Amino acid sequence: MARPCNFDVGYFKPLLTCAGTLVRNQVHLGLQQESAWGERMATTSERAKLIARARDALKVEASTESKKRTDENLECLCVELLCEWIVGDRRFENQTQQGEYWLSRIYEELYADEQPDATKVYARFGFNLPRSQYLTRLLLARRPSKWRSTAREELRRTLKRVENKAKQALKDGQEQTQRFDLSLSRGAYDELVVVYDFLAAAVTEQDRPTPPTKKPSSPTLVWFSITAETVLEVLNSLSGGGKRAS
């Protein structure tokens, strides 16, 4: 016959209490860790959404190359600009100076193939139009050599789009009558005028290509008409050539 169990349960009570406390603590710690993990995930998700919104805004009216640079460089640029501000390397006295600097860096890093444009600043960054125009004027005035180079590239790109048609007009003997209606930023149109003036000054009147004709335009874009002959002459000059042989 089995002997009855007569051990004192009270002897183990402190051990059982301690074990229960440990279990409760572990459960509580696990819940805290799960909560912290959930908060981190929520923060990460919100940050990803914010970055996506910023990328979408910066890509408005941007070229394919600028969109690619935005995807690749935006996060690093944001960290750099914030760290510069935190350590005081690039901390300005007012918001206008800070905004101008940040915009100039964004254009340098993400929009290397375009000039500051008030309409695009308005569309991308949500400033009102007068402030966008003011910031654009500041950027253009502070970095004239950089923006002139970008404006000249815009001019070349725009004329390249009609180059084949201009060459066909030349073959058909219609280079002086075939016209193209195009538009450029004001900076790029200024470059067109400069290039044309150099061309016109280097030849006699009878060999001078027809000047571009400016049309009613918007505050940020210039619409104009240009002959096939002048398109080819300007492109030739931009590529480093002289007056084309007739």
- CB–CB of 161/228 below 8 Å? no
Question: Does position 145 have pLDDT exceeding 90, yes or no?
Answer: no
For residues 63 and 114, the answer to whether their CB atoms sit within 8 Å is: yes
Q: What is the pLDDT of residues 196-222, one digit of tens each?
A: 998 888 877 778 899 999 998 887 789
Report the amino acid identity of residue 123: A
Residue 181 · residue 223 · CB < 8 Å: yes
Flag the least confident range among 25-34, 158-167, 232-241: 25-34
What tens digit of pLDDT does each residue of 7-62 get?
454 554 555 565 556 656 665 656 566 555 555 556 778 888 889 999 999 999 88
Instruction: Kindly list the domain boundaries of the chain, sorted by start residue.
Output: 50-142, 149-238
> Which pLDDT belongs to residue 21?
62
User: In the prediction, which pLDDT does 17 show?
Assistant: 60
Query: pLDDT tens digit string along 63-86?
Result: 899 999 999 999 999 999 999 989
Residue 244 pLDDT grade (very low, low, confident, very high; cuts 50, 70, 90)? low
Measuring CA to CA, which residue among 131, 136, 59, 74 is closest to residue 104?
A: 136
Q: Angle, to 10 degrees, between the axis of helix 95-110 and the axis of helix 64-87?
A: 140
Q: State the Cα torsion 21-24-29-35 to the nearest 10°.
A: -160
With beta carbons less than 8 A apart as the criterion, state whether 222 and 202 touch. Answer: no
Rounded percentage of the chain residues whose pLDDT exceeds 70:
80
- Residue at 41: amino acid letter: M
The one-letter code for the residue type at 46 is E
Give the per-residue pLDDT at 156.
Answer: 93
Instruction: Provide the pLDDT confidence category of residue 114 given band limits of 50, 70 and 90.
Output: confident
The mean per-residue pLDDT over the stretch 98-126 comes to 88
Residue 134: C-alpha distances to residues 24, 139, 141 (Å) = 63, 9, 11
Encode 130-159: b = buried (16+ Cβ within 10 Å), e = exposed. Answer: ebbbbbbebbbeebeebbbebbbbbbbebb
